[in-house]
Chain A
Amino acid sequence: MLEFFNSTQTIHTIIIIGSMCLFFIGFYGIATQKNLVKVLVSFDIMESALFLFFIGLHYQVGLVAPIVDSNLKTFTNMVDPVPQAMILTTIVIGLAVLALGLSFGIEYYKLTGRNDISKMNELRD
């Protein structure tokens, strides 16, 4: 039973299902939520799902983190470092945009007392 769970195939399947569920929860969130903070959180959920998806699919059974130490002298049998680097970058970018969005939201709330994005319609035809 445990061996079944320890196969790359199973892990990947679980990761795909889990991350995609999370992704489409976020998808549902941005489609239905009108509160700015909730919308931003939904986006964050989607992003996180993508991170999980990407990192998870690059794990294979038997591979270790790409760091050498006293026991491990060569860079073999290690997971791909590029997805990790990319995700690190994406996380920081996501954080930056989210923080900026929140600051816009705060300032807008101070001016108007609203945070419902469907009611932001002073700019319209």
Chain B
Amino acid sequence: MNSIFLLLNLLPILFLYQFEGALHVSLPLTNEFTLSLIQTPLGSFFAYLSLISFLLVTIAQKSKKLSFSYYALQFLLSLAMLAIVLAGDFITFFIGWEIMTWSSYFIISKSNNMNIKSLQKYILFSLASAFSLIAGIVIAYSFANSFDFVAISNSFESMPFNIKVALIVLFSLSFFTKAGVIGLHYWVVDTYSKAPDLFSSILSAVMSKMGIYGLFLIYGNIIGYHELKIMFGTMLNGTDFGYVLAWIGVATSIIATFKAITQDEVKKLLAYSSIAQLGYIVAVIGFGTSYGVAGAMYHTLIHTIIKLLLFINVAAIVAQTGKNKFSELGGLIYRTPVSFVMLLIGIIGLAGMPPLGGFASKFMMYNAAIDTKFALILIGMLFSGAASFLYCYKLVYGIYLGHPTSKSLESTKEVSIHYLIPQIILALLLVLTGAFPGAFIKVINPILKEFSLSTIGYDGLGVMQSAVGNFNGFFIISAFVVIFLLILLLIWRIKSKAKNNLNRFDISYCGEVPTADTSLHYGYGFGTELYRIKFVNAILKRSSSHFYESLATQTKKTSELFSRMYYGNIHNTMIIILLFFSALFFLGVN
């Protein structure tokens, strides 16, 4: 089953490769609708991103026995995403969007951890996103008389200002919901943590990117950064609009970062981290400068790679140990060394440390903030970037370092090769994206042209230009590799002299000797100290769940109120009909 769908997943990639950017299909659906597929540089970037992610996840899925319907739905999901990114008009886009919604819903419902509440959360937010999208689409249609991107883009200028704002708000709301911007992220954490483990990687790495794609499509392609500048005016070197968006993004990333640190469930931490990382992208996407777009694009790529890597890694560990909490894991470094290395590479990227791709993308974004002179935004981004070190550390410590928290962990074996293959590929990709930023700029330049922004220079494959000087990724990574090898050698030298294989009870604290059931793993409590900081405490204590739950309660109350009318008394029903007649009679006739 797996092999068949692996081949099937290859097909769209080949299909796309075949067309070489010249894909242009349109199918008449009715007299009014045509489905059209057009391959733009932006679209094919996201198309390859999602298709390759699906391929890698499918490889990892070989280790699990999954049903035909699971694979079929996942394949449908990949096609739906392809339809989204290749769409040339809003009907195709929306059809893809909705098929993505329900096919992912059915996959998520196959998880054993799933409950109705979380499923409801997921689907309602997805549908709210879709409905706000369709509202925007039909409003745009009412002016352009067409669903075509180009036609809508052409008629956008002539729309009244309030309609323009309404369109921007509706589309942004829709895509923010998918990307999990703070306030609209209520569904994200629950869904990511309860979905099937490997599918979480697709949710986080690919599906949230569809929101980002939508934002690019709206701001860059349909409205155009130039038009945004005209509409809202400029501020420093960026736009007013971008400034507001940047604050939304920065707030998202700061809040989600702190929330991530205090999570106990591994996948919840990754979910919050995903929200935070997408916050960065949202922050720079509205700048309207080449560096902003390039940074957002670069980070989109890096985040996809990292989240695939981390989620597959965690899925493997969960499958191997059956545990998914930091408080239950620990000390796996000797048992699953390859996984450990992979996770280490992943978090180096996630934290944005040099030399991997994570640094290059963060650098590009900071660079964009410097370029537009949004100093406060830059400070916020740096702050949340620094704070993200904490959860990265928690991730690696909680799972691999320290002591195993239970006997069963001590006999854990290395995870299945099917999990490792995609991880190794992704880790290599991460290294390559760090080493050759120029290659990426080469990919991005056509997109910048598509948005009619100036292109960014690059110097060979290893060097990209920026506002604050050139960035030579290849040099940095070479230097790091050399230093890393030296340190490794040093450690190896020292270690060979040190005493090996300590027993976990070879310690004593305060004169007490720990027993077998004493928890020596502090992964569980990691981050609780943060509550003492007033600012962080204020963030952590608040939650949007209150708002949404009270909304649900209100709805239920309304429903009960209305349902009281239908209490089955035909006598009163008759009286109501007669009274209604009388009322209309006196109102209408006299």
Contact = CB atoms under 8 A, between A and B. Distances in A.
A73 interface: no
A124 interface: yes
Contact of A121 (B563, B568, B574, B575): B568
Given A27-B578, A30-B578, A31-B578, A118 B567 contact: no
B502 interface: no
B498 interface: no
Interface string B561-589: 00110111111101100100000000000
A120 B568 CA distance: 7
A124 B568 contact: yes
A122 B574 CA distance: 17
A30 B569 CA distance: 14
A3 interface: no
B568 A125 contact: yes
Interface in A89-125: 117-118, 120-125
Contacts of B569: 118, 121, 124
A125 B564 contact: yes
Nearest to A123: B568
Contacts of A124: 566-569
Nearest to A34: B571
A118 B572 CA distance: 7
A122 B568 contact: yes
B578 A121 contact: no
A63 to B, nearest CB: 31
Interface residues of A, number: 12
A30 B579 CA distance: 12
A125 B571 CA distance: 16
Interface in A57-114: none
A31 B566 contact: no
A121 B578 CA distance: 20
B578 A125 contact: no
B563 A125 contact: yes
A125 B575 contact: no
Contacts of B571: 34, 117-118
A31 B574 contact: yes
Given A125-B563, A125-B564, A120 B570 contact: yes
B561 to A, nearest CB: 11
Contacts of A121: 567-569
Contacts of B574: 30-31
A34 B571 CA distance: 7
Nearest to A122: B568
Contacts of B566: 124-125
Contacts of A120: 568, 570
Interface string B60-91: 00000000000000000000000000000000
Interface in B519-578: 563-564, 566-572, 574-575, 578
Nearest to A118: B571
A105 to B, nearest CB: 13
A36 B569 CA distance: 13
Nearest to B571: A118
Contacts of A123: 568
Interface string B123-152: 000000000000000000000000000000
Interface of B: 563-564, 566-572, 574-575, 578
29 contacts: A27-B578, A30-B574, A30-B578, A31-B574, A31-B575, A31-B578, A34-B571, A117-B570, A117-B571, A118-B569, A118-B570, A118-B571, A118-B572, A120-B568, A120-B570, A121-B567, A121-B568, A121-B569, A122-B568, A123-B568, A124-B566, A124-B567, A124-B568, A124-B569, A125-B563, A125-B564, A125-B566, A125-B567, A125-B568
Interface of A: 27, 30-31, 34, 117-118, 120-125
Given A30-B574, A120-B568, 4 more contacts: A34-B571, A118-B569, A124-B567, A125-B564
